[in-house]
Structure 1
Amino acid sequence: MSDWLFDLGNSRFKFAPLQGNRAGDVQAWPHGAEAMPTDALALLPSGDTAYVASVAAASLTASMLEVLQARFKHVRVARTEASCAGVRIAYADPAKFGVDRYLALIAAAERGQAVLVAGVGTALTIDLLDADGQHHGGRIAASPTTMREALHARAVQLPAQGGDYSEFANDTADALASGCDGAAVALIERSRMQAATTLGAVPALLVHGGGAPALLPLLGDAQFQPALVLDGLARWAVHQPPAAR
């Protein structure tokens, strides 16, 4: 019987087998679990234990857990804790710190170096972790995709997608792409600059999430870690006491 990892986000549902303390090959539905047809759900794996992380709405999380409970002997849901796997969260109330951000930090901590972790999904999240595993807090903003959708919702003549990045664009689609991508890049770069002041050295930059690839060409030495949350869930799973596994 195998163990599996499941990450239910705001816009994507991803899962992978647990292989040691890492995620194996990742599969995903990019439109979110609420859009998965019955025949797709029927193809989900089964096994001994399902480890689950969710930032989706409570009703959606509950429906997915019900599906997994029918396919696995045990279902364990990750919750943010004050500390785990050497990571210590800066929030006074850890429960208010998103579990996806928490797991990304747990995965990043395995490197043993200071890192700035940027997740680009529905939201843009940025968190600073020092080499000793201390979280120094972070930021949350709208991702470029969400910025575009919000602008389109308020002004339908502004396209919700399309365009290419340019420092000074000469048409509307390119200007939108440049402004929204540029805003995200600027926030990440400022955070990294301030992180260097806080820590005394420039941290490594790790990016993950469905919107990350579009920003990579603008972020210099950024390292793309597409399975960061699932890898963190894997590390969380192996750090649970035997009675909870």
Structure 2
Amino acid sequence: MSAWVFDLGNSRLKCAPLGEDGRPGDVLAFAHDGRALDAGWERALPMRIEAAHVASVAAPALRVALLEALSARCARIGLASTQRAWGGVRIAYAAPERLGVDRFLAMLAAHSRGGAWLVVGVGTALTIDLVDADGRHHGGRIAPSPALMREALHARATQLPPVGGHYREFATDTDDALASGCTGAALALVTCSGEAAAQLCGRPVPVLLHGGGADALRPHLPDAVHAPALVLEGLGCWAQVGRTP
């Protein structure tokens, strides 16, 4: 019997077993189209799971489908939700339920590492949150990710390709200009947020980078800490705090 964590995002389901230290093991990832999970994904799981800890920002119908599938093999299922205060983290939002649970869990994981962090998630959206060394969330930003910027431009002007090109400081063809502009816009927002975070915290704040689109920014943020399983790490924190009397 075992415990697993499940992160149902807008385009992928990621899951992993939890070790005895509360950290996720090898991560499995399954794409979905927003309406249904890939057929046969359950075959990658053990036949029986003692406890499943789930976070979801996907459509309600897809979340229900995941929970129904897990109920056939899980003794206990817990659904994580954003809390005003949890695991030493205190959320800045006046209405905590309006903060995505993926951002909340990423901050739990960041705080568990110690120190202040600028938590940058790159998925469908680009999210940035500042959590200081005391666990205080100072707020954040949400913007389109570079990939979503490209898709939006293509939707309005089909002659502009939705993918392709390379980052250049000053591009000399359209594909490179699109890649450079969309990636550059995201980098500028991260840089601006980092400068503001340093002023608030009185010292530079390291970047903790996660999400399926993080690879687009990683070459340009050499000092960032890459944590691809950060939300699953946060679910491990959630599970541990939830077991504390």
Which range, TM-score by smaller chain?
Answer: over 0.9
Query: Which residue number corresponds to residue 37 of structure 1?
Result: 38
Distance 1:58 1:36, change over 3 A: closer
CA distance in 2, matches of 1:99, 1:8: 11
The amino acid of 1:86's aligned partner reads: G
TM (normalized to structure 2)? 0.95
Distance in 1, matches of 2:131 and 2:65, equals 34
Aligned pairs for 1:30-69 (under 5 A) are 30-31=31-32, 34=35, 36-45=37-46, 46-69=48-71
Residue 134 of structure 1 and its aligned partner are, at CA, apart by 0.3
- Matched position secondary structure for 1:118: strand
- Structure 1 residue 32 displacement after superposition: 5.3
**CA deviation string 1:54-79 (max 9, x = no partner):** 00011111111111111101110001
User: Which of 231, 234, 240 is 2:233 aligned to?
Assistant: 231
- Tell whether 2:129 aligns with 1:127: yes
Q: Give the residue type in structure 1 aligned to 2:44.
A: L
- Aligned partner of 2:8 in structure 1 is 8
Moved more, 233-242 or 141-150: 233-242
Pairwise CA RMSD: 1.4
Asked whether the 8 Å contact 2:82–2:97 carries over to 1, the reply is yes
* Partner deviation per Cα, 1:161-211 (whole Å, 9 max, x = no partner): 010000000111110000000000000000000111111111111100011
Q: Distance in 1 between matches of 2:205 and 2:59?
A: 33
**Is residue 118 of structure 1 aligned with residue 120 of structure 2?**
yes
For 2:26, the aligned partner's letter is D
* Letter aligned with residue 24 of structure 2: A
1:1-245 alignment runs, 5 A limit: 1-19=1-19, 20-31=21-32, 34=35, 36-45=37-46, 46-241=48-243
Report the CA distance between 1:38 and its aligned residue: 2.7
Percent identical: 57
Partner of 1:240, secondary structure, is helix
TM-fit CA distance, 1:3:
0.6
Q: Distance in 2 between matches of 1:42 and 1:33?
A: 20
Aligned residues: 243
Structure 1 range deviating more: 22-31 or 56-65: 22-31
User: Is the Cα contact below 8 Å between 1:109 and 1:133 reproduced in 2?
Assistant: yes
Go from structure 1 to structure 2 and tell me whether the alpha carbon gap of 1:200 and 1:183 turns closer, same or farther (over 3 Å shift).
same
Structure 1 unmatched runs, 5+:
none
Aligned equivalents of 2:176, 2:36: Cα separation in 1: 30
The answer on whether the counterparts of 1:149 and 1:160 sit within 8 Å (CA) in structure 2 is yes
SS of 2:242's equivalent in the other structure is: coil
Residues in 2 aligned to 1:110 and 1:242: alpha-carbon distance in whole angstroms? 15
Deviates more, 1:212-221 or 1:228-237: 212-221
Whole-angstrom distance in 1 between the partners of 2:15 and 2:33? 12
* 1:23 counterpart SS class: coil
Residues 188-237 of structure 1: CA distance to partner in whole angstroms, max 9, x if unpaired? Answer: 00000011111111111110001111211111311110010000000110
Report the AA paired with residue 27 of structure 2. V
